[in-house]
């Protein structure tokens, strides 16, 4: 019996589902994206499982799933994997530029379509849905050391490539629009020409920061003033020990996720917009000894 955490088996099943999703002649759009959403979840499991099966096993008090994942006990039928939101959060940290927010939207759309009276992903037109989908799927395909042709076949490569180009264009246009709008509003504010409602909003937006765990100063791409670059995910930690035993210096590398400027009120949310705007994709922050202890805490009671 094939192990439920086997990344090759998960990859093959994801390929089966995506080929059903790309059957334009036989399936409606809602059925296509349903299969595609299922394929994305399987891709995420396969990518994490290739690193370690423990990354997809749901922890339980008795540890059965973890023991099955590392092959110490038999029990495939009882194996339970982590929920999709946890799955995508881990992929977000492990496989840049995978965007957990976009992936979770896809899964929420699937759940709404299946389990409620809502329209789910049917509310988004196909020409807008597919570019966002393939932007996430291709990151996971790369994490599996595969390419798109391995996933969909050479005959369908052109279709995927067109969607990827559209996604890149959308990101570029969105970033440019946000920057130009920030420049325009700043000039209107300085000239005293902001409409009353916009002026009230401008005055109320005193603090646009997201209050993530780590931040640093960065030059605003719209007005060149000093803004704030923020992030939550620790990509790397370097520890150095000085002469005194308790004198520990921890330097963290943080993935950039959010930028805001108090001068022109530009806000860029997400790795893609930050990268497109030319802002640093990561930055350093100071940690302390508590970070090391938290990372090594095994939950002893």
pLDDT one digit per residue (tens) for the chain, 301 residues: 457 778 999 999 999 999 999 987 778 888 899 999 999 999 999 999 999 888 888 877 667 777 777 777 765 546 678 889 999 999 988 888 898 888 998 988 887 877 766 666 666 788 889 999 999 999 999 999 999 999 999 999 999 999 999 999 999 999 999 999 999 989 988 998 888 877 888 887 678 999 999 999 999 999 999 999 999 888 888 887 776 666 778 889 999 999 999 999 999 998 889 999 999 999 999 887 665 555 444 444 4
CB–CB of 117/42 below 8 Å?
no
pTM (2 d.p.): 0.75
Is residue 202 exposed (0-12), middle (13-18) or buried (19+ Cβ within 10 Å)? middle
Exposure class string for 52-78: b at 16+ Cβ within 10 A, else e = ebebbbeeeeeebbbbbbeeeeeeeee
CB–CB of 40/137 below 8 Å?
yes
> What are the DSSP E strand ranges found in 87-233?
214-219, 226-231
Closest CA to 19 of 119, 159, 163, 165: 159
- Confidence (pLDDT) at 122: 63
- Confidence (pLDDT) at 135: 92
SS3 category, 83: coil
Is residue 283 exposed (0-12), middle (13-18) or buried (19+ Cβ within 10 Å)? buried
Dihedral (CA of 294, 52, 237, 85) sign:
negative
Tell me the backbone φ, ψ of residue 121, rounded to 5 degrees.
-75, -5
- Confidence (pLDDT) at 212: 93
Q: How far apart are CA 29 and CA 117, in angstroms?
A: 17
- CA distances, 147 to each of 22, 131, 143, 218, 285 (Å): 17, 17, 9, 35, 35
Tokens read off for 133: 């989908």
Q: How far apart are CA 30 and CA 211, in angstroms?
A: 38
> What are the DSSP E strand ranges found in the chain?
214-219, 226-231, 234-241, 248-255, 258-260, 267-269, 282-287
- Confidence (pLDDT) at 42: 95
- CA distances, 94 to each of 48, 129, 170, 288 (Å): 8, 24, 25, 23
């Amino acid at each position: 019996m094939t192990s439920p955490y086997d990344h090759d088996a998960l990859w093959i099943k994801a390929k089966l589902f995506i080929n059903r999703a790309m059957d334009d002649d036989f399936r409606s759009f809602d059925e296509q994206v349903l299969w595609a959403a299922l394929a994305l979840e399987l891709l995420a499991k396969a990518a994490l499982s290739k690193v370690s099966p423990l990354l997809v096993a749901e922890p339980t008090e008795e540890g059965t799933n973890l023991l099955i994942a590392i092959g110490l006990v038999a029990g495939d039928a009882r194996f339970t994997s982590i929920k999709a939101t946890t799955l995508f959060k881990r992929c977000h940290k492990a496989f840049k530029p995978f965007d957990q927010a976009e992936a979770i939207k896809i899964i929420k759309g699937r759940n709404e379509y299946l389990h409620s009276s809502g329209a789910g992903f049917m509310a988004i037109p196909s020409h807008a849905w597919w570019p966002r989908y393939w932007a996430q799927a291709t990151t996971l395909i790369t994490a599996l050391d595969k390419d798109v042709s391995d996933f969909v076949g050479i005959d369908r490569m052109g279709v995927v490539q067109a969607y990827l180009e559209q996604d890149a264009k959308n990101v570029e246009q969105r970033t440019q629009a946000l920057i130009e709008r920030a420049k325009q509003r700043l000039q209107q504010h300085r000239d005293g020409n902001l409409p009353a409602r916009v002026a009230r909003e401008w005055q109320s937006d005193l603090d646009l920061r997201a209050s993530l765990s780590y931040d640093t100063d960065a030059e605003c791409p719209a007005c060149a003033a000093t803004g704030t670059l923020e992030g939550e995910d620790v990509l790397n930690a370097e520890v150095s020990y000085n002469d005194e035993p308790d004198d520990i210096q921890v330097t963290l590398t943080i993935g950039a996720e959010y930028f805001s400027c108090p001068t022109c009120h530009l806000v860029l949310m997400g790795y893609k917009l930050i990268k497109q705007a030319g802002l640093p994709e990561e930055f350093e922050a100071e940690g302390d000894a508590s970070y090391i202890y938290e990372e090594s805490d095994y939950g002893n009671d």
